[in-house]
């Protein structure tokens, strides 16, 4: 019994347990059809999240496997760096007088991974991965083949590419299935961005763990908020054909490079705009609050105060709560790229940084709602109204998945 009390009090573990219940209760409160929530499936999905986290973080086998995967990402970064050095020369060497140039050292990695992902998809390697997860998850969680495939794919591909895997099934999806794949798009990040954040200094082991945990997590939260009440077309395990969209390897490289280039430009543009906006907001808020208070407040301080309570619920230490809350607010209001970049500049303790790595690891922010409307709306115009109607609820669900991942991870580290 003493051991249990010591464990609960150590590192705010008791707050993480409270947080898990709070996040699940919030999902239930906002549930569209509460009486149709399958609590057994909810418990199974939650147990699966715990099992994934425990396997990776607390077993030698799990750590060896995922450290090997993380090492593979690092090696790919090295390969990408060769191309970067060839194009940019000494500008790609941070030890020179001009230091670390983000646009040269980071954005080109996205382009390289865009091409690499397209090659892996062309040869069917990604399909093997998502089919394997589908075979495991569908019977256990009671999800359809289409939504499980797309949810699993979101842990590697960008939301648009993951949706393309089931483009022939999109028009036949039930509302609950559509909600699930949109939540999966919000609560995961792509393999290319895992590599990018790893190159910045974020732990790849925890990024990979968070991404895998988000697969059952997205299903868990989405099926509480929007339970299935219809009969999905692929519920019985009907085979879904994952068609290649490239004629040959050169076509795959070309299309993948173009996709990566578009993403890299978009990321660079968003960083310029969002970081500039943060600076402008900080200035404006400080000026305005300076007229009313002896000590002016910045936009970051307001975000920190607003989300500090949430940071307590995922196990963040008291002294780090406000700064962690500001990062959570930036992630939701702006994007995870800005939040990770700022996280690495803070003086948070290592445990807080690890927990935040899970809480920030997802696309759940306001701008992604527009991306989903454009991407999926172009594939299935009849679903555009669904996304606009439930956009804020999808954002809430994606955020809850990330926070749930963080609370679970904080119990195991």
Rounded CA-CA distance 57/124 in Å is 29
Rounded CA-CA distance 192/77 in Å is 10
Rounded CA-CA distance 383/378 in Å is 9
Residues 6+ apart with CB under 8 A from 10: none
| 259 belongs to a structural domain | no
What DSSP string describes 109-134? Answer: HHHHHHHHHHHHHHTTHHHHHHHHHH
Nearest to 338 by CA among 377, 289, 282, 294: 282
Which range of residues forms the domain containing residue 60? 7-88+100-230+270-410
Q: How many other CB atoms are there within 10 angstroms of residue 181's CB atom?
A: 28
Nearest to 268 by CA among 102, 86, 78, 112: 102
Rounded CA-CA distance 198/220 in Å is 27
For 16-79, where are the E strands, in sequence order? none
The reported pLDDT for the residue numbered 236 is: 55
pLDDT tens-digit map of 136-152? 888 888 888 888 888 88
What DSSP string describes 132-186? Answer: HHHHHHHHHHT--HHHHHHHHHTTTS-HHHHHHTTTTTGGG--HHHHHHHHHHHH
Count of domains for the chain: 1
Q: pTM for the full model?
A: 0.83
The reported pLDDT for the residue numbered 98 is: 66
**Tokens representing residue 338 in the block:** 């800005």
| 378 belongs to a structural domain | yes
- Region of residue 374 (phi > 0: left; psi between -120 and 50: alpha; otherwise: beta): alpha
Rounded CA-CA distance 200/349 in Å is 18
Q: How many other CB atoms are there within 10 angstroms of residue 357's CB atom?
A: 23
- Region of residue 85 (phi > 0: left; psi between -120 and 50: alpha; otherwise: beta): alpha
Q: How many other CB atoms are there within 10 angstroms of residue 149's CB atom?
A: 26
The tens-digit pLDDT sequence of the chain (413 residues) is 677 777 777 878 889 999 999 999 999 999 988 999 999 999 999 999 999 999 998 898 888 888 888 788 778 778 888 888 888 888 877 767 666 676 787 778 778 877 887 888 888 887 787 777 777 888 888 888 888 888 888 887 777 667 766 766 778 889 999 999 999 999 998 877 888 888 888 998 899 999 999 999 999 999 999 999 888 877 755 566 666 778 889 998 998 888 778 877 776 777 787 778 878 888 898 888 888 887 888 777 787 788 888 999 999 988 898 889 989 988 988 788 889 988 998 889 999 999 999 999 998 887 777 777 776 776 678 888 898 899 889 999 999 999 999 999 999 98
| 95 belongs to a structural domain | no
The reported pLDDT for the residue numbered 97 is: 65
| 315 belongs to a structural domain | yes
> What is the chain's mean pLDDT, rounded?
85
Residues shown for the chain = 413
- Residue 149 to residues 242, 348, 361, 400, Cα–Cα distance (Å): 10, 37, 20, 21
Count Cβ atoms within 10 A of the Cβ of residue 136 and give its class: 0-12 exposed, 13-18 middle, 19 or more buried: middle
| 256 belongs to a structural domain | no
Q: CA geometry: angle at 145 spanning 143 and 151, to 5°?
A: 75
| 238 belongs to a structural domain | no
Nearest to 341 by CA among 193, 191, 171: 193
- Residue 192 to residues 70, 315, 354, Cα–Cα distance (Å): 12, 28, 20
Rounded CA-CA distance 51/184 in Å is 19
Nearest to 170 by CA among 391, 386, 388, 380: 380
Query: Looking at residue 248, what DSSP letter applies?
Result: S
| 278 belongs to a structural domain | yes
The reported pLDDT for the residue numbered 148 is: 87
**Tokens representing residue 213 in the block:** 């945990």
| 225 belongs to a structural domain | yes
The reported pLDDT for the residue numbered 237 is: 55
- Residue 114 to residues 7, 10, 158, 346, 371, Cα–Cα distance (Å): 43, 42, 10, 30, 18
């Amino acid at each position: 019994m003493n051991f249990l009390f010591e464990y609960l009090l150590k590192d705010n573990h008791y707050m993480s347990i409270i947080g898990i219940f709070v996040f699940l209760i919030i999902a239930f409160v906002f549930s569209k059809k509460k009486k149709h929530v399958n609590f057994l499936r909810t418990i199974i999905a939650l147990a699966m999240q715990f099992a994934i986290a425990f396997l990776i973080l607390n077993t030698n086998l799990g750590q060896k496997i995922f450290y090997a995967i993380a090492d593979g990402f690092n090696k790919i970064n090295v390969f990408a760096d060769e191309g970067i050095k060839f194009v940019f020369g000494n500008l790609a060497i941070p030890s020179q007088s001009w230091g670390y140039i983000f646009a040269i050292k980071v954005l080109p990695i996205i382009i390289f991974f865009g091409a690499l992902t397209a090659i892996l998809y062309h040869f069917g390697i990604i399909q093997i991965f998502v089919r394997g997860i589908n075979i495991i998850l569908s019977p256990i969680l009671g999800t359809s083949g289409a939504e499980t495939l797309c949810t699993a794919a979101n842990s590697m591909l960008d939301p648009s590419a993951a949706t393309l895997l089931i483009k022939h099934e999109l028009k036949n999806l039930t509302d609950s299935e559509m909600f699930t794949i949109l939540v999966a798009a919000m609560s995961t990040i792509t393999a290319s961005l895992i590599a990018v954040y790893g190159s910045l200094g974020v732990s790849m082991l925890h990024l990979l763990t968070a991404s895998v945990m988000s697969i059952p997590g997205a299903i868990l939260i989405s099926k509480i908020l929007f339970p299935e009440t219809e009969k999905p077309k692929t519920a019985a395990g009907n085979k879904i054909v994952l068609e290649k969209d490239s004629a040959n390897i050169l076509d795959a490289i070309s299309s993948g490079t173009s996709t990566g280039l578009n993403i890299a430009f978009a990321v660079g543009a968003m960083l310029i705009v969002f970081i500039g906006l943060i600076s402008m907001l900080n200035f404006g808020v400080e000026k305005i609050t300076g007229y009313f208070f002896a000590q002016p407040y910045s936009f970051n301080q307001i975000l920190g105060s607003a989300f500090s309570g949430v940071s307590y619920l995922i196990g963040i230490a008291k002294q780090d709560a406000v700064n962690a809350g500001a990062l959570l607010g930036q992630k939701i209001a702006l994007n995870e790229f800005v939040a990770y970049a700022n996280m690495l500049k803070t003086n948070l303790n290592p445990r807080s940084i690890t927990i935040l790595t899970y809480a920030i690891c997802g696309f759940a922010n306001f701008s992604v709602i527009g991306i989903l409307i454009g991407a999926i709306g172009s594939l299935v115009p009849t679903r555009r109204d669904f996304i606009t109607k439930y956009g804020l609820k999808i954002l809430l669900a994606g955020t809850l998945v990330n926070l749930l991942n963080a609370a679970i991870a904080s119990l195991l580290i």
